[in-house]
Chain A
Amino acid sequence: MTTTARGPAITVRGITKSYKDLPVLRGVDFDVAAGSIFALLGSNGAGKTTLVRILSTLLKANTGTATVHGFDVSSAPGEVRRSISLTGQFAAVDEVLTGRENLILVAKLRHLKNPRAIADDMLARFSLTDAGNRRAGTYSGGMRRRLDIAMSLVGNPPVVFLDEPTTGLDPQARIEVWQTVKHLAKDGTTILLTTQYLDEAEQLADRIAILHKGTIIQNGTLAELKRLLPSATVEYVEKQPTLEDVFLTLVGQTAGEQSR
């Protein structure tokens, strides 16, 4: 599972998808370099989730091809599933099971040795050790999301899809997710995340593609995207703390890696 594919980790060529007469994707092309963070930015209904579902083999495209970790999503879905993990928009945890049991379940389904040790390790990594024996149904939104992502990372899949990973989270939980994503990328995991938050893409992504009405209208690094607009004019503005700064200071959370 740790072998890296040669070339891009994800290639998408001419993918289209319609639901009945309603076209959702009208020909999408992009590559994601191995070990990078790629953000798919778009408003609601732009087709982000549909694209992620196609890349994670949950949905078949009408036309076009896509490969993940070197495997074609339609002809080798089993190989793709072995190489990826998906964290969907809604936390995919079993609420009846405890946090630990959820992690053990995934470790067993990935046929890893020592599922218990892996679960304990993941609980520690995601600061859930104390809550490990509580039912996931009792977790807060942030804890649930952390457990969700921890479950996705069991077995260290080389490619990780995060579909709107911070939607509905409070600012602290959001920063925790961001830090997790950065750590993952540092360890060589390829990450494709979708988001509707511009600052999230700006914070995390090596490359940003803007998906609008079913096609990629721009694709580049943050610097490249910024260059699309006329060069900045120098203005003197009093530096005000953002509301986020204020909030985080008041609740005693250090912004940590968040500093810009």
Chain B
Amino acid sequence: MTTHVLSDTATLTGRSLRHILRSPDTIITTAVTPVALMLLFVYVLGGAINTGSDGSYINYMLPGILLITIASGIAYTAYRLFLDMQGGIFERFQSMPIPRPSVLWAHVLTSLVANLASLVIVTGVALIMGFRTGASVADWLAVAGILALFTLALTWVAVIAGLSAKTVDGASAFSYPLIFLPFISSAFVPTDSMPGPVAWFADNQPVTSIVNTLRALFAQQPVGNDIWIALAWCAGLLLAAYAAATAIYRKRIS
């Protein structure tokens, strides 16, 4: 049965990618909120924000916007997984000789592709709005790698939500706090402008280290320790969410 893991995962991924192609609005709606936030922050609030750095404000806040894009995009994974289980198709797959992990991995890989598309749209709008970077190809690859790892980690969190939700609303509601998290980080304002306890939280939550790393890569500055803290957060979250999701999955299908 193991010989078919890859081909079955590919077949099932093709299926859910087709779902996205037939409802491209899921990509658009994922991009709309971050773009709106970007417009709000750059053209309304940005003028009053002192980041302490000399680049334009859009250069400062794009990393945070990209993370918000991912946080809102992964909700669709929970949603699609939940709908699969509601309908009979999930049981059909379970009663067929398909390697069990393939069903989940198909949704996760689809999430990677869909979020990549949304990220490209948001970055494109940012470029139109004046985002500039001198990042090299290697820098861009590093940015893409970190964003992919972050997407993967959050998607497995979404899998947990999709597997354990009781209603459609519940399946997607879990992502609201995730979307909110970048606001209490270095994504929009420097953390040293915040009161003590808030600044402490902001400095020690995953978003800040990821945002700082992306910002440094875009600005071609040394990433310092932040990249290791960012990678550790992503890897840790990925492993924990993956373990929890597969445990819940196994419980559900036995």
Contact = CB atoms under 8 A, between A and B. Distances in A.
Nearest to B4: A111
Interface in A86-137: 86, 88-97, 101, 105-106, 108-111
B166 interface: no
Interface stretch (B63-71, B86-94, B140-148, B212-220): B86-94
A108 B92 contact: no
Contacts of A174: none
Interface stretch (B11-19, B118-126, B131-139, B192-200): B11-19
A85 B95 contact: yes
B128 interface: no
9 contacts: A56-B95, A58-B95, A82-B97, A84-B95, A93-B88, A95-B87, A96-B18, A108-B7, A110-B96
A151 interface: yes
B98 A86 contact: no
Given A82-B97, A96-B19, A105-B15, A88 B4 contact: no
Q: Main SS of the interface on chain B?
A: helix
Contact of A88 (B11, B19, B23, B88): B88
Contacts of B4: 111
A79 B168 CA distance: 34
A81 B95 contact: yes
Given A88-B88, A108-B11, A97 B95 contact: no
Interface residues of B, number: 24
Contacts of A152: 92
Contact of A94 (B1, B89, B254): B89
A48 to B, nearest CB: 15
Contacts of B88: 88-93, 148
B126 to A, nearest CB: 31
A89 to B, nearest CB: 8
A97 B18 CA distance: 8
Interface of B: 1, 4, 7-8, 11-12, 15, 18-19, 22-23, 87-89, 91-98, 253-254
Q: Main SS of the interface on chain A?
A: loop
Given A93-B89, A105-B11, A151-B92, 16 more contacts: A58-B94, A78-B1, A81-B95, A81-B96, A84-B95, A85-B95, A86-B91, A88-B88, A90-B88, A92-B88, A93-B87, A95-B87, A97-B18, A109-B98, A111-B4, A148-B88
Interface in A45-94: 56-60, 78, 81-82, 84-86, 88-94
A108 B98 CA distance: 11
B89 A60 contact: no
A56 B226 CA distance: 50
Contacts of A81: 95-97
Contacts of A57: 94-95
Given A90-B87, A93-B89, A111 B7 contact: yes
A68 to B, nearest CB: 11
Contacts of A108: 7, 11
Q: Chain B CB within 10 Å — which of A56, A59, A94, A106 has the most?
A: A94
Contacts of B97: 78, 81-82, 110
